Amino acid sequence: MSVLDAIMGRRNIKAFKPDAISEQHVQSWLTAASYAPNHRMTEPWRVLIVGPETRGLLKHKTDFGGAPVVIAILSKSGATTLERDENVMATACFMQNFMLAAQEAGVGTFWSSLGAAAHNREILGAAESEDVIGVFGIGYPAEIPALKPRTPIEDKITSLP
Ligand SMILES: Cc1cc2nc3c(=O)[nH]c(=O)nc-3n(C[C@H](O)[C@H](O)[C@H](O)COP(=O)(O)O)c2cc1C
């Protein structure tokens, strides 16, 4: 699969098959994710593999679409606002890398932002110095949602003199 096919074919998956995903595969996508750009090599990400007990406490409304694997992705905040922003951006790149690497294997991801809520941060054990950027449900899609059309990119481009 080309990178472009992975980008264009990825969807936010809301319903998964129960088929297991091997830890080794998840590990390999996380390794790919870690090649994300990150300013000053802060490597700000931290990944929590969310086990069944913690997952239950998160009380997600669809239990992450029945995904067999759930992970949470955290980003360490920096000494300055700029460093924190850059770390969040780097972690978002990490997450996109992960999604595309999984996509290549036909595995989908469901991005939930519930981890940012104070009580869920506590359940996850996020430190005060960490932002919870997202919680991913990961698995083989049971349903692939239709493409959500994007605004033509020409409408978002301004040429400067
Ligand atoms: C920062 C961020 C937070 C998101 N949080 C949620 C969420 O809490 N629940 C959800 O269903 N989707 C969430 N999404 C996924 C978007 O809703 C989804 O990407 C968007 O609808 C476009 O659909 P697509 O990814 O299938 O192209 C999030 C995406 C991002 C980048």
- Model pLDDT for residues 12-30, shown as the tens digit of each residue: 999 999 999 999 999 999 9
Asked if residue 7 is part of any domain, the answer here is no
**Based on the structure, what is the number of domains in the chain?**
1
Write the pLDDT tens digit of every residue in 118-147: 999 999 999 999 999 999 999 999 999 999
Look up the CATH number of the domain holding residue 23.
3.40.109.10
Residue in the block written with tokens 């460093």: 83
pTM: 0.98
**Structural domain for 108, as ranges:** 13-144
Query: 160 alpha carbon to ligand 1 midpoint, in Å?
Result: 31
Average pLDDT, integer, range 60-67: 98
What does the pLDDT read at residue 67? 98
- Specify the residue with its C-alpha closest to ligand 1, atom 29: 111
Contacts of 116 (CB under 8 A, 6+ apart): 131, 132, 133
What does the pLDDT read at residue 106? 98
- Residues 139 and 63: their CA atoms lie apart, in Å, by 13
Q: Which residues pair with 141 in a beta bridge?
A: 16
Residue type, 30: L
What does the pLDDT read at residue 4? 98
Using a 10 angstrom Cβ sphere, with 0-12 exposed, 13-18 middle and 19 or more buried, the burial of residue 12 is: middle
Percent of the chain with pLDDT strictly greater than 70:
100
What does the pLDDT read at residue 66? 98
Query: 104 alpha carbon to ligand 1 midpoint, in Å?
Result: 19
Residue type, 73: I
What does the pLDDT read at residue 5? 98
What does the pLDDT read at residue 132? 98
Query: 133 alpha carbon to ligand 1 midpoint, in Å?
Result: 12
The number of the ligand 1 atom at minimal distance from the alpha carbon of 14 is: 11
Asked if residue 152 is part of any domain, the answer here is no
Asked if residue 76 is part of any domain, the answer here is yes
